Amino acid sequence: MINSKDRSIQKLSNDGKTFITKWGSEGSGDGQFDWVFDVKVDKNTKNPNVYVADTGNYRIQKFDKDGKFITKWGSKGSGDGQFEDLLGIGISNKGFLCACDLRIQKFTADGKFQATWGSAKPTIAQINQTIVGYRRQKLNRSFPLQR
Tens of pLDDT along the chain (147 residues)? 665 667 778 777 888 888 888 888 899 999 999 988 889 998 867 888 999 999 999 999 999 989 999 999 999 999 999 998 888 899 988 889 999 987 899 999 999 999 998 766 655 555 555 544 544 444 444 444 433
What pLDDT was estimated at residue 118? 78
| Statement: the pTM of the whole predicted model exceeds 0.85 | no
Q: Three-state DSSP class for 41? A: strand
Judge contact between 122 and 115, C-beta under 8 A.
no
What pLDDT was estimated at residue 2? 64
Strand 2-3 to strand 88-91: parallel, antiparallel, or no bridges (unpaired)? unpaired
Judge contact between 126 and 132, C-beta under 8 A.
no
d(CA 12, CA 32): 19
What pLDDT was estimated at residue 123? 56
Domain 2-140 carries which CATH code?
2.120.10.30
